[in-house]
Structure formats: structure tokens, C-alpha cells
Amino acid sequence: MASSSANSLFGKYDVGRLLGCGAFAKVYYARDINTGHSVAIKVINKHKISHNAQLVMNVKREIDIMRRLRHPYIVKLYEVMATKTKIYFVMEFVKGGELFAKVAKGRLSESQSRRYFQQLVSAIGYCHSHGVFHRDLKPENILIDENGDLKVSDFGLSALTDQIRADGLLHTLCGTPSYVSPEILTKRGYDGAKADIWSCGIILFVMNAGFLPFNDANLMMMYKKIYKGDYRCPKWMSSDLRRLLARLLDTKPETRITVDEIKADPWFRKGFKDSIELETVAKRGKGKSKALNAFDIISFSSGLNLTPLFDGTSSVPSVQSERIAVEESPERVIERVEEIVKDADVKIHKRKDWSLDLIGRNGKDVLEIEVFRLTMKLVVVEVQCSGGGNEFYDELWNNRIRSELVERPDVQVAES
């Protein structure tokens, strides 16, 4: 499919109508010139963020988060491009619009609310297992596709585990007032996962009730209601749904329900079979849930160094990181790393899929290693070191692991 449109972006996309806009960005509908596929392009004006180091950091973090999340209920990021004045996020186009527009037309049935909530919890549980906390969940940031499935979007305010302070909590105040959890209002720190669960509870209430549980024209009065957990369920809600909402909207984060407990709840589990299958991302096939997309492959050689996108705007510190290609199976790479560091003074914390953390004696220096399948015979090993320990990174990665993985002469290429 060819095009000579004056609205062509980099000769790759025909840019069409405006879908939405915010303080620093606009989102447009576009069509891939080569394939004809629809995409959404988020355009960020560099001049509007360049004066603020925090905004630059937020954009970099959003790119880093979105390129690592691959889940059927999360909007996909295909690629990122830039000019001297703008940054372009090319994303999956979700045809059905916002959940907010759907609810604004009238409350949803309990069965429809349940289906969307199951998909939302599946997506958020996946985010949390990958160290990502959304922090701005609301119906405006949830899209519905042409199949009637939910897609979580807008990770601009999201946090990663490296933002957690020594007290084990996040401290940045963010979110939308009606959906913010009471512990965020106290300004004493909060658990990102528990804050997201509270927001999920608000969304579930709104879907089935058609109105907010905590609402007041006076903002301080609304905050008081949130802090006290002062809400009432409409008469049409079932007793099982009311019980689940009471656990989701528990004002004490330490006793608030967890994702695993939500999945065990009787109301939630009804008709959950299909959602479980999708949750494991089985559609992509065994061993493919960590496959790299085109954007990852393009960014591979530079280790996703985003500095060129910003043309030397604000100087933002970054963690040490690198990617290398290895001809081994993902499972064998992880085994090899464990063998290499078995005599090192580090604690090994294995995560889901093909990833692990190597934690230094001080508990602050952490080497995160994650393996992605690139082809049938080739994987990419991504390493990041947080905590600021250059010596830790050099000693563990550069002097031990990297040389062993890259220079082993007897590498056995594993068929999958």
C-alpha cells in the first residue's frame, strides 16, 4: 500500500484525525503505509518538557515500561521515533474508545463488569510481577477494542521498583483524586501494588454503579470520605460483589486484598476460564511470551539508550545497562549465570520467566538479568544495575558473567 500524503510521517505512517490531547502530548490516528494496519501515534512536544527534568524522566520511563510489557490486555508500543522538536510513540490502535465513554452511557451489568474486571486484574497482576505500578488507573485510561476486550493504556505516571525507597514504599504523589488511595493522601509512603488495587476497586464500583463511590464538589470533603472509606453500594449490587468491593476498598493497605486473593474470590472466578488462558499469554505459544518485537530488536544495539531522543535536553541519570546476544536457550542462560556467581558474595532472587536479580551484600546494589528469545537459536540477555554501584556492576557483570556467556567456546545451541 503506497501513499504520497503530505501527512506522511517518516514515509512510514499516514497521519489522520486527532484522537485526544493533553498538556504535553497529542494522540493521532494513523495508518501504516506498507501494511495498511491502523496505529495510534502519541506526539510529545520536546519544548514543553525540556525545562523539567522530572517530565523528561517520566517520558523515558514510559518508553522503558511500555516496551517491556507484552500482555493481551495492555496497549502495545511498536516503536519510538523523534525529530528535533517532537517524540513519536507508535502504538496499537484500540478501536472501541475509552471505558469511560461506555460507562457514561449507563452502568454495566454485573456480568459485563466482571468480565472487564477480570481482564483488568490480569493486566495489573502482570504489571506488578514485572515490577511496574501504574498509579493512574481510571476508566479514561482503559480502552475497549473491537472484540470487546479491555486494554490498559497511559503509563506516563507509572513507577518501577527502582523508585522504591529504603522503607520499601513509593513516595511520589500522583493519580486522579477520585481514584487515589487513602494511604497516598497521608503522604507517608505507599505500596504501589496496593494503591493500584484500590483504583481497580473504584473502577469496578463505577462500572456496576454508574457513579463514583467517593464524590463531593469540595475536594477536601471527598478526601475525608476516601480516608474513612465512606461509601454506599446501590441496591442492585449482589452480596458477593459487595463483599469483594469491601476488600478492594479497605482503607488499610496492609489488610487490603491482593491480586492472588482477588483471583480466588468466588464472585471474580465466575466464568474465569478464558481469562486464565489469556493471562498466561498462551496465544503467543510456549516460550514466546518473552520474544522481542521489532522495537526491541531496533533498540538492541544501543541498549535502549534514549538520550538521542531528547537531543541533550535535561540531564537525567540512568542505570548502567547492556544487552548481548547469546546462542543458548533462555533456561540455560539462567542456569549458567547461577553457576558463574555461585561463589560470589551475592544473593540470588529468581523471578518469573527467564529473569533473576543478583543482590549485593549492602542490599542496595542489584544486578537485574532478563533473557528474551530473539530467534529459535538466539537470545538477548539484558542486564541493568541499580543502586549506583559501578564496582558491583564491573565486578559481577563485566569481569565474570559477560565474558563467560560471550566467550564460551563450547556453547551448545539449543533447539526449542
Q: 350-363: per-residue pLDDT in tens? A: 876 788 888 888 77
229-238, 335-344, 384-393: the lowest-pLDDT one: 384-393
Residue with cell 504501589: 192
User: For residue 369, what is its C-alpha cell?
Assistant: 538479568
- pLDDT band at residue 318, thresholds of 50, 70 and 90? very low
137-146, 221-230, 253-262, 405-414: the lowest-pLDDT one: 405-414
- pLDDT band at residue 279, thresholds of 50, 70 and 90? very low
Average pLDDT of the residues in 182-208: 93
- Mind telling me the catalytic residues? 136
- pLDDT band at residue 59, thresholds of 50, 70 and 90? confident
Residue partners of 227: CB distance under 8 A and separation at least 6: 182, 185, 186, 251
How confident is the model at residue 111, as a pLDDT? 95
pLDDT top residue among 277 and 86: 86
Instruction: List the beta bridge partners of residue 350.
Output: 356
As a whole number, the mean pLDDT across the chain is 82
Tens digit of each residue's pLDDT (9 = 90 or more) over 103-153: 999 999 999 999 999 999 999 999 999 889 998 999 999 999 999 999 999
Please state the domain extents for the chain.
Answer: 8-92, 99-284, 319-407
pLDDT at 282 over 50: no
How confident is the model at residue 361, as a pLDDT? 80
- pLDDT band at residue 177, thresholds of 50, 70 and 90? confident
pLDDT top residue among 248 and 361: 248
pLDDT at 298 over 70: no
> Which CATH number, 3.30.310.80, 3.20.20.70, 3.90.1300.10, 3.10.20.740, labels domain 319-407?
3.30.310.80
pLDDT at 313 over 90: no
Same fold, 99-284 and 319-407: no
How confident is the model at residue 163, as a pLDDT? 77
- pLDDT band at residue 412, thresholds of 50, 70 and 90? very low
User: Percent of the chain beyond pLDDT 70?
Assistant: 82
**Class in CATH terms, 8-92:** alpha beta
Residue with cell 543482590: 359
Distance of CA 180 to the CA centre of its chain: 18
How confident is the model at residue 284, as a pLDDT? 37
pLDDT top residue among 324 and 138: 138
Cβ pair 202, 179 in contact under 8 A: yes
Query: Residue 193 and residue 258: Cα distance in Å, rounded?
Result: 8
User: Percent of the chain beyond pLDDT 90?
Assistant: 41
Residue with cell 518473552: 290
Instruction: List the beta bridge partners of residue 40.
Output: 29, 91
Closest CA to 33 of 15, 60, 55: 15
Distance of CA 117 to the CA centre of its chain: 17
Q: What is the pTM of this model?
A: 0.69
For Cα atoms 210, 215, 219, give the angle at the middle one, nearest 5 degrees.
150
Cβ pair 138, 199 in contact under 8 A: yes
How confident is the model at residue 387, as a pLDDT? 61
For domain 99-284, give the CATH number: 1.10.510.10
- pLDDT band at residue 376, thresholds of 50, 70 and 90? low
Tens digit of each residue's pLDDT (9 = 90 or more) over 26-42: 999 999 998 899 999 99
Listing DSSP states for 276-315 in one string gives HHHHTTGGG-TT-TTB--HHHHHHHTTTS--HHHHTT-S-
